[in-house]
Amino acid sequence: MTLLPKVPGLKLEDTFIDADTVSLTLVSTALPVACPVCGHRTARLHSHYGRTVADLPWSGRRVRFSLDVRKFRCPEEGCPRRIFTERLPDLVESYARKTVRLHEVLELVGFALGGEAGSRLIRRLGMAASPSTLLHYIGRAATASYPNPHIIGVDDFSLRRGQTYATIIVDLERHEPIELLPDREAETLADWLRANPGIEIIARDRYRPYIEGASAGAPEAVQVADRFHILKNLYNAVERAVERHRHALRESEEDPARQEEIPVPEPSREGGHPGWGHRSDPGQRDKRLKLYERVVELRERGLYVEDIAGQVGLSQGTVVRWLNADGFPERKRPKKKKPSPVAPYAEYLERRWRERCINMSRLWREIKEMGYEGSYDAVADHLR
């Protein structure tokens, strides 16, 4: 009978069909069967019992299997399981009330549509599963489907635009997120690590609760400050150092004879250093740096962005930006505008425009003949 699950020895004994149900009585006849504990095979029947499970519908009718399940005595002397129930793993799991293939369909629908919509569709198709059952299947599939991780990455992410933080755990061998923790407390991470033993390497940033949580929850694991954050910190530090010595670097460039005595300017106390301040003076920068350090410190102590913003008197947006910058964000030096390639022809173009020559491509051709090498768009932009 090919419509039935392909289980060796499964026999159809009886069929009953009414307006909305197909009931099939099935018996398993395979012999001998193996004890699930010691593996010894036996044909020593102990008893039978009946079990009903739901299967995939037939033409809109619900299908019920009435299974005649057998119990056997284990022949092995020392086996702790003296009597065992035969397993039919391709048909139905132990204690399940649905066949494996029905379960698979329900799980797929659950993943595609979620609980409510999935449950409605399933009823239309002649099956039954409540929304919460579908969600339960999804949850079980999600937790059962990944192997124990060995190398993980831990990082935080913002749930509500920088106001509430949660933690994401990524399996770095499979490059897949495997867990979301509701906050970024040391204790939460430690609990998760204790529940998932066997982790050998934890990559993390330098956020203090993560260091503490990792040490408490997986003391034997190696902690690695992840490369991204280290490189970013290094980059920022180098940039700051270069910025600080910009004046000296320029002087040495201009006068090679002075290379021996490059003055090392004091970073913050030297007021009015020509190469130092951007558009703000060094005192301003100092204040801003202090503020930045305070923001980082408060965050490391676990405060939320809105509390930090309140304490230091900055907007939440600025606090978020600073925290994401991962290093003191220097004020941007206003960019020197590159002279437009049209500039040398500006006067000519203006004159022609006044002469009412307003055909842009014609003007473009005219200045091209005069030596202009830029694009048409630049000319059009200029004229506009």
Of the residues 10, 24, 26, 35, which one makes contact with Zn ion according to CB under 5 A = 35
72-76: which pairs have CB atoms within 8 A and are 24 or more residues apart? Answer: 72/33, 72/35, 72/42, 72/43, 72/44, 72/45, 72/46, 73/42, 73/44, 73/45, 73/46, 74/35, 74/37, 74/38, 74/40, 74/42, 75/35, 75/40, 75/41, 75/42, 75/44, 76/35, 76/38, 76/40
Tell me whether residue 73 or residue 273 sits nearer to Zn ion (CB atom): 73
* Binding of residue 33 to Zn ion (CB under 5 A): no
Can you state the angle between helices 131-144 and 100-113, rounded to 10 degrees? 100
Interface mask (CB under 5 A) for Zn ion, residues 359-378, using x and -?
--------------------
Q: How far is the CB of 75 from Zn ion (least distance, A)?
A: 8
Tell me whether residue 35 or residue 309 sits nearer to Zn ion (CB atom): 35
Tell me whether residue 34 or residue 248 sits nearer to Zn ion (CB atom): 34
- How far does CA 120 lie from the centroid of its chain? 31
Tell me whether residue 81 or residue 136 sits nearer to Zn ion (CB atom): 81
* Binding of residue 17 to Zn ion (CB under 5 A): no
Let me know: does 251 contact 262? Beta carbons within 8 Å: yes
Give the whole-angstrom CA distance, residue 328 versus residue 320: 13
How many CB atoms sit inside 10 A of residue 341's CB?
A: 15
* Binding of residue 308 to Zn ion (CB under 5 A): no
Tell me whether residue 38 or residue 312 sits nearer to Zn ion (CB atom): 38
Structure tokens belonging to residue 293: 């350090």
Binding window for Zn ion (CB under 5 A); candidates: 30-38, 107-115, 203-211, 249-257: 30-38
Tell me whether residue 79 or residue 113 sits nearer to Zn ion (CB atom): 79
Give the whole-angstrom CA distance, residue 364 versus residue 349: 9
Q: How far is the CB of 70 from Zn ion (least distance, A)?
A: 15
For CA atoms 114, 120, 121, 126, the dihedral sign is: positive
* Binding of residue 79 to Zn ion (CB under 5 A): yes
318 phi and psi angles, rounded to 5 deg: -65, -40
Q: How far is the CB of 126 from Zn ion (least distance, A)?
A: 40
Q: How far is the CB of 71 from Zn ion (least distance, A)?
A: 13
* Binding of residue 237 to Zn ion (CB under 5 A): no
* Binding of residue 190 to Zn ion (CB under 5 A): no
Give the whole-angstrom CA distance, residue 266 versus residue 285: 14
69 phi and psi angles, rounded to 5 deg: -100, 140
Let me know: does 314 contact 295? Beta carbons within 8 Å: yes
* Binding of residue 38 to Zn ion (CB under 5 A): yes
* Binding of residue 37 to Zn ion (CB under 5 A): yes
**Count of chain residues binding Zn ion (CB under 5 A):** 7
Q: How far is the CB of 7 from Zn ion (least distance, A)?
A: 22
* Binding of residue 76 to Zn ion (CB under 5 A): yes
Tell me whether residue 39 or residue 177 sits nearer to Zn ion (CB atom): 39
Binding window for Zn ion (CB under 5 A); candidates: 34-42, 108-116, 315-323, 333-341: 34-42
Binding window for Zn ion (CB under 5 A); candidates: 74-82, 100-108, 172-180, 347-355: 74-82
* Binding of residue 251 to Zn ion (CB under 5 A): no
Residues 80-119, interacting with Zn ion (CB under 5 A): 81
Tell me whether residue 43 or residue 225 sits nearer to Zn ion (CB atom): 43
Grouping H, G, I as helix, E, B as strand and the rest as coil, residue 190 is helix
Strand (E) or helix (H) holding 353: helix 346-354
* Binding of residue 74 to Zn ion (CB under 5 A): yes
Binding window for Zn ion (CB under 5 A); candidates: 28-36, 57-65, 118-126, 283-291: 28-36
Binding window for Zn ion (CB under 5 A); candidates: 53-61, 69-77, 91-99, 260-268: 69-77
Structure tokens belonging to residue 151: 């190398």
DSSP state of 136: H
243 phi and psi angles, rounded to 5 deg: -60, -40
Contact residues: Zn ion, CB under 5 A? 35, 37-38, 74, 76, 79, 81
